[in-house]
Every structure is written in C-alpha cells, then in structure tokens.
A and B are shown apart, each in its own frame.
Chain A
Amino acid sequence: MTERDHQGSERVDVDRQTEHGPSNVELTGRQHQAERRAGIALAVAIVAGVGLFVVYFSGGQTQVEGILFAIAFGGLGVALGIWANHLLDAREVVEERHELTSGPAGRQAFEDALVEEVGPVIGRRSMLLKLLAGAGGALGLALLLPVLSLGPAPGNTLKVTPWRRGSRVVDEGGEPVQFNQVPENGFLTVFPEGHQGAADAQALLIHVRPGSLKLPADRMAGVPEGTHVAYSKICTHAGCPVGLYRAESQSLICPCHQSQFDVSDGARPFFGPAARPLPQLLLSVDEENILVAQGDFTEPVGPAFWDRGRR
C-alpha cells in the first residue's frame, strides 16, 4: 500500500511503486453494462460446454466439436477480457527499476570468495591439474563413442545400387517387363528383380519416339532399338523421385524444386537447380524378350556428397 502524507501526495512504497489515477468508483453505469456483457459471454460459454457433451456422446463430429470449443473458450476469454478492462480497480502503477549489476564491490566479493576457497585446491598443484585435464579430455571423448553406434559407416553404399549385369527389369509389383510392353510415349517405374521397392534402385523406363534420342554411341548401345531408355528416378538435386514425365516434349520435371531434365539428351538438366543429369541405366533384351540391365548406373545416383567423385 502507498502511504499518503498529510498533504495528499503519494510516497514510494517498499516495492518502489507509486500508484496513479483515481480509483474507478465513479463508473458504475459502465461497469453494470460491462458486467452484463461478461455475463452473456459466460452464459454462451456454458451452453457451448454443455453442447460439447451432447456432441461427444452422440458420436462426435469434428467440425461441430471445434466450433463449440471455440465458443466455450472464446466466451470465457471475452468475459475475462471485459473483466480485466472494466471491472477491476485498474490503476496505472509506476515501479522504479533496480540496478541490475552487483557493482564492482559485489563482483570483487564474488571473486574473493572464489579465489579464497579455490586457492588450496589449485595452489602449486600444476601436475595434478594437467593430469586432471587429460583425464577429463579422454573421458569426454570416450563419452562420445556411443554416438558412433547410431549408424553404419557410409562406406561405398552411396555409390552402388542393387542393379547388376543381367538383372531383370521388373515393375513395382515384381513382374518382369517385356520389351515393347510400355506403349510409345509411355513410362514406367522399374527395379531390379528381387529388389522391387528399393529406394536407391528406382529407375524410369521411358519408351521414346524412334529417332528422337541424341546420345553418344556408347550410351545408345544401352537403349534397345533406340527407343527404350532408362534413367535413375532419383533427382540429382535433392533426391525426390522425378515422376513427372511430359510426353510431348520428352522431358521430366521434378515436383520438389522444378528441375527439368531432357530425356532425349541423356536427362541433362536444362532448367532449375539440378546441376547433373540423371544417371543412365544401360539396358539390353534377353532371349525371353525381357529387359535386363547391363550393369549398375553410369554414375552414383541421387544428390551430390563430398566424396562422390572418388572411387
């Protein structure tokens, strides 16, 4: 409480606070109105609350539940807001700030306390301290060892996929894919037999229009009849499956960041953030007319990483 001296002014109290302004004792009319409004808000909240019971026990309905909760909470919120602004003896208060710092004297006292107690500990025991530091270091590093158990070493795994020479090409259901099975202008997601669904092995088989491919000779050797070409489906930018094939322009677009690859030109990126073409999977046809791979992809699939270019 503030103390008023006999002249009527106010003094700062024990919390270093001063109050300003008259008590609102003269606002009865407005207060009654405010009280009424708050009361209505609370009544509405009660009805909504009861309504929630009804809705819940009759099976529940997400939209109605949300609306009723909103009304119940909102009614309470409105009532308390009105109360805070109109029904409280809300005076403005001035509080003095205290010094945040302990000051040089305080800091000196702390230092003294620290040094005083620590002196005998440190003193001239430098050898002991050095060994302490060494033990702390060794133990600290050793405590990090379990972190290495969280995962395997990367090794070579980012650079190889399950595709091998002679792997039969199968679709997502495991069915071998025949040559000419995919209609012209069509495409299909394929895997090596035995590894359907394998994330790093996913490839797109595309039946392009005859004569439309412009690949160097060694790559064309992996395109049966010059029409069935296969590329890795993993975007070389950030790894999303590049599943959007535009048949008319024979190009692929990745939905994640809009990198666009020209299928006729070795899946070279011609727009967007991708820097490298999609690796090709060289194919041939076996004696049962099933498509088979000639080996793994021409380079490591997917996004770049530090040692990608090293064997």
Chain B
Amino acid sequence: MRRTAILLGGVALLALLLTPATGAATARGAARAAAAGQPDSPALDARGRELYQNACASCHGPDPAGPSYYPRVPSLKNVGGAAAVDWAVRTGRMPWKDNKGPAIERGEPRFNDQDIRALVVYIGKAVGDAQIPDVDPARGNLQRGRGLYGQACAACHGMNGAGAALGGQNIAVSLQDVHPLDVAEAIKIGPGQMPVGGGLADYEFGTARSRQEVDDIAAYVESLRTTPYNRGGAPIGGKGPVPEGFVAWVIGLGLLVVAARWIAGRG
C-alpha cells in the first residue's frame, strides 16, 4: 500500500518534470554566438581547413565546394554557406552521429568556440558565402513576430514551439529552448525539409525587411521561455492533450484509487 503510493508519487514527479530543460542550451548558444563575432585571420582559416579534413571531409568530400563522397550526403556548396556550418556544428548536429531514428539529433557541440569559428571561416570562404545573420530579439516586435510565426512556422513547429513529427525521417524540432541565432540561421539556410526563408513570403537574406521579420520571429521564440508563458505550472512537455491525458490517468486517477483503497480499509 505504502509502496504503491511511493511508486505513484515517483511517477508523478517524473511526469511533471518532463519539461524541456530550460536555459542550458541557450547559455551554450550565447557563448558560441559570442565567439562568432571574432575577426577571421589566416591562422583561423588554416585551423579550419585542418578541422575540415579531419572531421568532415570523409563524408563531404575533400573540397567543401566540391561533390561529397555519398549520394545522400549533400555537398556543402549550396546548403547555406557559413551560416549552415555555424548552425549545424554549434547545435551539435554535425559531425554526424550514428542515429537510428528520424532526424539528425541536436546535442552538445563537439568543438569549442574557437574551432567552430575556424570551420565557419574556412568553409564560408571556400563556398563563397561567409555571412552569418545578424539577429537581435530586442529589435524585434513581439506581436508582429507572433503573427509571422503563426503563418510561417507554427504548422510544423507548433504555435507553442513544441515541435512535431513530419512523417518519415523528418522532425520539426522543439523551439522552446533555442538561441536566436539558431532561428535566424535556420531561416536563412532552410535545413532539411524546411524551406529556405522558413516559409516567410518574399524572404531575401540581407534586406532590411527580412532582417526585421527575423528579429520579430526571434523575439517571439524568445518569449516561449519566459515566465508568464507557463503560468499554469509544469508544462508537461508542452505537447498538449496526450501527456495531459497520461497525467490524468496515472497521477489523477492513480492517486485516487490509492485513496479509495485506503478509505475502504479492510473491506
């Protein structure tokens, strides 16, 4: 009886703590984004080439602007340039880990800030697109950002950024814990099934209008993490009625069945 109650309590605690870890990823992202601001230099370029040959060339080919070794691995020529490299390496998606499921998973980056910067500089130069987006949520309009997000992003990523499966090996990731630079870079490069421009009408990298729109969207994505957002308590993953139903059965009804057994006594 007591064991049941403890067990249920433990499950309850676990279920309520199925919230995405907030703050950790963004701290990581912030540090590395800061590193992105460093000026490039021949030393950095050389370091980048060395890293590329060691970690990337075995799949992407000896020349970043040239063909890759495998048909399913894209050449780095047209994937979005320096922004793509920064995005993929900083979020730990590249170098590719062996994964058995849909999508290439995020994770801890395998390189330190300096090395990431070096790779970005080298590859950006090699493919002729060295630009990293300049994004600042503070410049963005939160309300406009919400509107744009609803039109362009919400279908796949969820209005609350929870993310969803897109069929096959595709997943639209959760945006509840991402850095603004991740958002801006992803919109620029259109990774995976995401279109270049992120579904924004008339997106063009470098124009003032597009930069403003990206700032707006970044502002909204930022707001997904701030306090009034989860005013009701533990978000239980933010995935809607499915985890809510699970909690209602396991914790709600579960605890009540325990209570009923206790009340009925030795009936």
- Chains A and B share a contact (CB less than 8 Å): yes
Question: Which residue of B156, B197, B265 contacts A85 across the interface (Cβ within 8 Å)?
Answer: B265
Q: Which of B45-53, B97-105, B186-194, B212-220 contacts A (4 or more CB under 8 A)?
A: B186-194
CB distance from A56 to the nearest CB of B (A): 17
Q: Which of A9-17, A129-137, A176-184 contacts B (4 or more CB under 8 A)?
A: A176-184
Nearest to B193 among chain A residues (CB) is: A246
Residues of chain B from 205 to 234 with CB closer than 8 A to chain A in the complex:
231-233
Residues of chain A from 172 to 195 with CB closer than 8 A to chain B in the complex:
172, 177, 181-189
Q: Give Cα A241–Cα B159 distance, bound, in whole angstroms.
A: 14
Q: Give Cα A81–Cα B259 distance, bound, in whole angstroms.
A: 9
Question: Which residue of B151, B166, B194, B202 contacts A253 across the interface (Cβ within 8 Å)?
Answer: B166
Q: 0/1 per residue, A257-298, Cβ < 8 Å to B?
A: 010100000000001000000000000000000000000000
Chain B's interface size range is 20 to 34
Chain B residues with CB under 8 Å of A189's CB are 151
Chain A residues with CB under 8 Å of B201's CB are 171, 177, 181-182, 186, 188
Q: Are A185 and B151 in contact (CB under 8 A)?
A: no
Q: Are A186 and B167 in contact (CB under 8 A)?
A: no
> Beyond A62-B231, A245-B199, A246-B166, is A81–B204 a contact (Cβ under 8 Å)?
no
- Is A243 interfacial (CB-CB < 8 Å)? yes
- Is B26 interfacial (CB-CB < 8 Å)? no
Q: Are B151 and A172 in contact (CB under 8 A)?
A: yes
Chain A's interface size range is 20 to 34
CB distance from B46 to the nearest CB of A (A): 34
Q: Are B199 and A187 in contact (CB under 8 A)?
A: yes
Nearest to B262 among chain A residues (CB) is: A81
Q: Are B166 and A186 in contact (CB under 8 A)?
A: no
CB distance from A225 to the nearest CB of B (A): 17
- Is A84 interfacial (CB-CB < 8 Å)? yes
CB distance from A214 to the nearest CB of B (A): 20
Main secondary structure of the interface of B (DSSP, over half): loop
Q: Give Cα A24–Cα B21 distance, bound, in whole angstroms.
A: 55
Q: Are B194 and A247 in contact (CB under 8 A)?
A: yes
Chain A residues with CB under 8 Å of B192's CB are 248
> Beyond A62-B232, A244-B166, is A249–B204 a contact (Cβ under 8 Å)?
no
Chain A residues with CB under 8 Å of B233's CB are 62-63, 66
The winner among A77, A185, A246 for most chain B CB atoms within 10 A is A246
Q: Give Cα A77–Cα B255 distance, bound, in whole angstroms.
A: 13
Nearest to A181 among chain B residues (CB) is: B202
Chain A residues with CB under 8 Å of B107's CB are none
Q: 0/1 per residue, B156-195, Cβ < 8 Å to A?
A: 1000000010111010100000000000000000101111
Q: Are A84 and B166 in contact (CB under 8 A)?
A: no
- Is B59 interfacial (CB-CB < 8 Å)? no
Q: Give Cα A253–Cα B193 distance, bound, in whole angstroms.
A: 12
Nearest to A180 among chain B residues (CB) is: B202
Question: Which residue of B156, B204, B265 contacts A183 across the interface (Cβ within 8 Å)?
Answer: B204
Q: Are B199 and A186 in contact (CB under 8 A)?
A: yes
Q: Give Cα A28–Cα B231 distance, bound, in whole angstroms.
A: 49
Q: Give Cα A187–Cα B262 distance, bound, in whole angstroms.
A: 59
Chain B residues with CB under 8 Å of A186's CB are 195-197, 199-201, 203
Q: Are B263 and A81 in contact (CB under 8 A)?
A: yes
Q: Are B193 and A248 in contact (CB under 8 A)?
A: yes
> Beyond A246-B193, A248-B193, is A255–B199 a contact (Cβ under 8 Å)?
no
Question: Which residue of B167, B170, B200, B263 contacts A271 across the interface (Cβ within 8 Å)?
Answer: B167
- Is B155 interfacial (CB-CB < 8 Å)? yes
Q: Are B166 and A185 in contact (CB under 8 A)?
A: no
Chain A residues with CB under 8 Å of B156's CB are 243-244
> Beyond A81-B262, A171-B201, A172-B151, is A183–B166 a contact (Cβ under 8 Å)?
no
Nearest to B153 among chain A residues (CB) is: A243
Chain A residues with CB under 8 Å of B166's CB are 244, 246, 253
Q: Give Cα A172–Cα B201 distance, bound, in whole angstroms.
A: 11
CB distance from B48 to the nearest CB of A (A): 27
Q: Give Cα A247–Cα B7 distance, bound, in whole angstroms.
A: 46
Q: Give Cα A245–Cα B194 distance, bound, in whole angstroms.
A: 8
Residues of chain B from 80 to 102 with CB closer than 8 A to chain A in the complex:
none
Q: Give Cα A76–Cα B204 distance, bound, in whole angstroms.
A: 64
Q: Give Cα A232–Cα B265 distance, bound, in whole angstroms.
A: 61
Q: Give Cα A177–Cα B203 distance, bound, in whole angstroms.
A: 13
What are 13 A-B residue pairs whose CB atoms fall within 8 Å in the complex? A77-B259, A81-B263, A84-B265, A181-B202, A183-B202, A185-B195, A185-B197, A244-B155, A244-B166, A247-B190, A247-B196, A249-B168, A271-B167
Q: Which 3 A-B pairs have the closest CB atoms?
A: A243-B155, A247-B195, A246-B193
Given contacts A182-B201, A186-B201, 7 further A-B contacts (CB under 8 A): A182-B202, A183-B196, A183-B203, A244-B166, A245-B199, A246-B193, A248-B193
